[in-house]
Amino acid sequence: MSACLRLNPIACEAHGECAELLPELIRLDDWGYPIIDESEVPPELLGLARRAVDFCPTLALVLDED
């Protein structure tokens, strides 16, 4: 079981909620758009990652779990 964060950059409108909720894996660039660590989400951050996905106002952030 592994999970990776992925962003639909067309849908993203730089609300920045994700970086607030998950600064461990997401920071913002100079224009407020998220730079996401797309490697595997460590198990201890999975809960926060799901929360960041849930809070994205444009549903641009997804967690690919398999």
Binding-residue total with other proteins (CB under 8 A):
14
**Placement of tokens 């201890």 in the chain:** 44
DSSP letter string, 17-55: HHHHH-TTTEEE-TTS-EEE--SBPPGGGHHHHHHHHHH
> Is residue 59 within the footprint of other proteins (CB under 8 A)?
no
- Per CB under 8 A, the list member of 23, 35, 40, 57 interacting with other proteins is 35
Among residues 2, 14, 40, 59, which is the contact residue for other proteins, using CB under 8 A? 14
Residue 12 binds other proteins (CB under 8 A): yes
